[in-house]
Amino acid sequence: MSSVSAQSPFGVPWRSALLFLAVVAGFLLLSLTTFDPKVGPAAWVIRIAGTVVWVAFAAYLGYRDIVQKQGNGPQDIDHVPFDRWSWIHTTAGAMLGFWSVPLMLVVAITIGWEFFEKYVPGFGEKETLANRAVDVVGAWVGWVLLALLIAVLEGDSVPFVLPSADAWIRNL
Decide if 34 contacts 169 (C-beta within 8 A): yes
Higher pLDDT, 7 or 153: 153
pTM of the predicted protein model: 0.86
User: Which of the four pLDDT bands, split at 50, 70 and 90, describes residue 71?
Assistant: low
User: Which of the four pLDDT bands, split at 50, 70 and 90, describes residue 61?
Assistant: confident
pLDDT in tens, 130-156: 999 999 999 999 999 999 999 999 999
Give Cα separations from 120 to 5, 14, 50, 110, 165 (angstroms).
Answer: 12, 11, 28, 15, 36
